[in-house]
């Protein structure tokens, strides 16, 4: 039987390209002579920055599922992430301590709170001082204190750009452990855990998060809404009086009053700063809200400018009066000398 001769099959017509293009057929595994003659492979020279900088560390994980210090499949981990996001996006948070409130009491308190905030929204919109209602975005929710406290430390003290791990592991061509990759900057990463661990017990709100805590979140800083919320949740005369029975009879229902007896104001976190009860009530007691605070600041600056101008003018005015007094004194002395000289000359002529 004659031997079989294996020859190369010609390239199919659908794989043919322009003569100037370089194409290596998957069957032939070679390029034509015309293509090889026209092809010139050139590699650009590296830039100075590429020659001096080190190679980025190689990562061995999927970008869609980055590794975490805390297992992401647990509910506590996802709750921590939600708390960190809440703290990073919410400028104003009121903290209250609660003690075994019943479900009906929570429902009644939330009802009265939403009504009070709706009245503030309507008044602000009617006056043209607010673009829209922000009361529905406010939320009264119970938190897990043992998870909210580390989330607070992560939100306050963790800065991905200044991570010590990112600085210490920038070695040339290093293959990093998955959990210690500096590219990981999420709230469950190893760097976030270490940054929060170094600040354990140092945040001012740590002592307030020891028991059952409920928070009231505000999407924006609004003293009017703070005052309305304090009048419902923590009334105190005369600055924050509770609604009267005639104005709001449902506020005095037993379910509402029994629930309010179990609530106590602890403080607030406003624009990243911690306020105690007095500071929180001071923010809620600002007349006119932020517009009133701006007008007070403008009046204070105007008074300061007027006082500075009067001080500068008084100095120049005092100098002017001093020089004028000295000039008048010299003129009077000159006149008296001339009169004395004239009387002396007249007496000599008579003699």
Structure tokens, 175: 């293959």
> What pLDDT is stored for residue 10 in this prediction?
53
Helix, strand, or coil (residue 173): coil
Q: Is the dihedral of CA 246, 248, 250, 252 positive or negative?
A: negative
> What pLDDT is stored for residue 17 in this prediction?
47
Structure tokens, 54: 């080190």
Q: What averages of pLDDT result for each successive group of 10 residues across the chain (351 residues)?
A: 54 49 47 48 71 62 66 84 91 93 94 92 81 82 92 86 51 50 69 81 86 92 91 91 92 94 93 90 79 67 68 74 81 75 61 55
Half-sphere exposure of 321 (CA within 13 A, CB side): 6
Closest CA relative to residue 190, chosen from 215, 163, 212, 168 = 163
Q: Is the dihedral of CA 148, 149, 152, 153 positive or negative?
A: negative
CATH fit for domain 75-161+178-293, picks 3.40.50.1000, 3.40.50.970, 3.30.70.1730, 2.120.10.90: 3.30.70.1730
Start and end residues for every CATH 3.30.70.1730 domain found in the chain: 75-161+178-293
Task: Enumerate the β-bridge partners of residue 152.
Answer: none
> What pLDDT is stored for residue 105 in this prediction?
95
DSSP H helices, 40-102, are 48-52, 75-89
Question: How many other C-beta atoms lie within 10 A of the C-beta of residue 131?
Answer: 8
């Amino acid at each position: 039987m004659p031997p079989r001769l294996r020859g190369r099959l010609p390239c199919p017509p659908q794989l043919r390209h322009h003569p100037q293009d370089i194409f290596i057929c998957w069957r032939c595994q070679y390029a034509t002579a015309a293509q090889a003659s026209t092809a010139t492979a050139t590699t650009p020279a590296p830039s100075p920055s590429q020659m001096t900088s080190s190679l980025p560390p190689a990562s061995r994980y999927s970008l869609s599922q980055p590794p975490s210090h805390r297992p992401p499949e647990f509910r506590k981990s996802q709750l921590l992430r939600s708390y960190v996001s809440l703290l990073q996006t919410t400028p104003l948070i009121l903290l209250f301590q609660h003690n075994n409130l019943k479900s009906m009491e929570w429902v009644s308190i939330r009802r009265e709170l939403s009504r009070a905030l709706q009245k503030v929204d309507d008044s602000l919109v009617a006056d043209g001082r607010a673009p829209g209602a922000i009361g529905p975005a406010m939320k009264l929710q119970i938190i897990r204190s043992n998870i909210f406290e580390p989330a607070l430390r992560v939100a306050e003290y963790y800065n991905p750009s200044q991570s010590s791990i990112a600085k210490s592991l920038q070695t040339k061509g290093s293959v990093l452990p998955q959990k210690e990759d500096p590219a990981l900057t999420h709230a469950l990463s190893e760097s976030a855990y270490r940054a929060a661990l170094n600040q354990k017990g140092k945040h001012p709100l740590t002592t307030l998060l020891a028991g059952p805590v409920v928070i009231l979140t505000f999407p924006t800083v609004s003293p009017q809404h703070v005052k309305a919320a304090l009048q419902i949740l923590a009334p105190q005369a005369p600055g924050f009086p509770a609604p009267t029975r005639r104005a709001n009879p449902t506020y005095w229902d037993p379910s509402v009053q029994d629930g309010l007896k179990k609530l106590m104001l602890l403080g607030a976190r406003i624009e990243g700063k911690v306020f105690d009860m007095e500071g929180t009530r001071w923010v809620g007691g600002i007349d006119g809200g932020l517009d009133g605070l701006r007008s007070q600041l403008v009046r204070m600056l105007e008074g300061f400018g007027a006082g500075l101008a009067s001080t500068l003018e008084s100095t120049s005015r005092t100098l002017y009066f001093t020089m004028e007094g000295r000039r008048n004194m010299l003129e009077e002395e000159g006149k008296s000398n001339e009169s004395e000289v004239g009387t002396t000359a007249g007496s000599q002529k008579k003699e």
